[in-house]
Amino acid sequence: MERRNLFLRIVGFSILASVVYGIVHDMITAHYCPAYFLPPHHVIIIDTEVPFFLALIWGVVATFWMGAIFGAMVGTCAVAGRLPLLPFPRFKKMLIRCLVITFILAMVALIGVHLIGDIAKAQSTSVIEEDRRLVVAAVTHGVSYFVSAVSGIFLCIWAVVVRFKLARSNETAESR
């Protein structure tokens, strides 16, 4: 029962944290380039071009599944086998750290690619502003997806390592 509860808490918190991250991330990118969230780049989920609503809907749709998948993976690594369970507060803290790092890297990408676009725009008259913004938004999302995937794999490995360390410290304490 304790294992199942921990697993469900990890999956639930992963989904919640991913959705919050997605909404915050998309609030920035949807205001920067609403066209990125519209056809032909994405399907219409709600009939609006308002950046706030685009960010809300896409922030949920594009992230809840990633939170569920990686939550299930990390949850399995946190509870499977005979090792001590991963303490939930440690997981929460590490997941938040990973999301903060992901957000920082995504925003660095947004600013960096935007500035590179400024240089290209200054050197050419053929750079169209909307196209530049679409590229910046796409790169920013790509960075988020990539770093999130790496973070999910890292969290799985980290969970197992923490559990082995807990088992070793328990063995050391019992041998005294």
Which pLDDT band, with edges at 50, 70 and 90, does 41 fall under?
confident
pLDDT in tens, 60-107: 999 999 999 999 999 999 999 999 999 999 999 999 999 999 999 999
Terminal CA-CA length for the chain: 31
Distance of alpha carbon 31 from alpha carbon 135, whole angstroms: 14
Q: Give the model's pLDDT for residue 176.
A: 61
What angle do the packed helices 2-32 and 64-79 form, to 10 degrees? 150
pLDDT of residue 43: 81
How far is 77 from 62, CA to CA, in rounded Å? 24
Helix ranges (H only) for the chain are 2-32, 51-61, 64-79, 88-123, 129-175
Q: Which of 75, 59, 58, 57 is nearest to 152 (CA)?
A: 75
Answer whether residue 146 shows pLDDT above 80: yes
For residue 127, name the pLDDT band (cuts at 50, 70, 90).
low
Amino acid letter for position 91: F
Q: Are 62 and 157 in contact (CB under 8 A)?
A: no
As a whole number, mean pLDDT of residues 38-58 equals 89
d(Cα 22, Cα 18) in Å, to the nearest integer? 6
The answer to whether 110 and 28 have CB atoms below 8 angstroms apart is yes
pLDDT of amino acid 15: 98
Residue 81: left if φ>0, alpha if ψ -120 to 50, beta else—which one?
left
Using DSSP's 3-state secondary structure scheme, residue 23 falls into helix
The CA distances from residue 60 to 68, 69, 79, 121, 127, in Å, are 12, 14, 27, 33, 32
CA distances from 119 to 112, 127, 133, 148 (A): 11, 10, 14, 29
* Residue 52 pLDDT greater than 70, yes or no: yes
Under the banding of pLDDT at 50, 70 and 90, the label for residue 125 is low
